[in-house]
Amino acid sequence: MAEALNELDRRIVAALAKDGRRSYRDIARELGVSEATVRSRATRLQNQGLIKVTAVGSPLALGVKVVALILMRIAPGKVAAAERTLASYPHIRFVATALGSADIVIQTLHPSVRDLHRFVSEELPAVLPELNSTETFQLTKVLKSTWTWGDWFEYLEGAEDEQKPDAEASYWLDEADGPKRRRPE
């Protein structure tokens, strides 16, 4: 079972996410720890399946003609089998279950709109008889797709700070939105 990440683990992950080719010695110097510490922690994180150091490309920038998100409704009790089927396709880059109007969300890559149309209208219904409906979004521009973790860890730290009890804070109830916290002036 994987351990929770501590502050040093998060800083190592953030450094590797920015540049996976960066030496452990350089990361150690920046973080003020030994190279052996960085190496052992990075190895542990990889062995536990928490991180994988790899190249991540932007599909549209790399020349993929069509990138699409497809939301799918699946018959009750059939979602897990559908996920496994979808995950076996090499051009499907992302498979996730979801709550809300879709049971499964996928990201898929195609050489043409015609190929995307064939995939959605012919192939998916043939391999997933439990498929009830799809909604397809063809991406035309990606404004942000990040794999850096430092910003996320900083965001979490800020959220955790906001959730810590404040002995001087006073609370009141807003019937529309629930409890509110006000700091003394």
Q: pLDDT, tens digit, for every residue of 131-163? A: 999 999 999 888 887 777 777 778 877 776 666
Residues facing residue 110 across a β-bridge: 66
Enumerate the CATH 3.30.70.920 domain ranges in the chain, comma separated: 66-139
Q: Quick one: pLDDT at residue 163?
A: 61
66-139 folds as: Alpha-Beta Plaits (3.30.70)
Strand (E) or helix (H) holding 92? strand 92-97
Residues 88-130 have pLDDT tens digits of 999 999 999 999 999 999 999 999 999 999 999 999 999 999 9
For the chain, what is the largest distance between any 2 Cα atoms, rounded to a whole number of angstroms? Answer: 64
Looking up tokens 């897990």 gives 80
Q: How far is 33 from 27, CA to CA, in rounded Å?
A: 9
Enumerate the CATH 1.10.10.10 domain ranges in the chain, comma separated: 1-56
CATH number, domain 1-56: 1.10.10.10
Q: How far is 168 from 100, CA to CA, in rounded Å?
A: 39
CA dihedral sign, ordered 147, 148, 151, 157 = positive
pLDDT grade for 1, boundaries at 50, 70 and 90? low
Q: How far is 85 from 103, CA to CA, in rounded Å?
A: 14
The pTM of the whole model exceeds 0.85? no
Q: How far is 172 from 25, CA to CA, in rounded Å?
A: 52
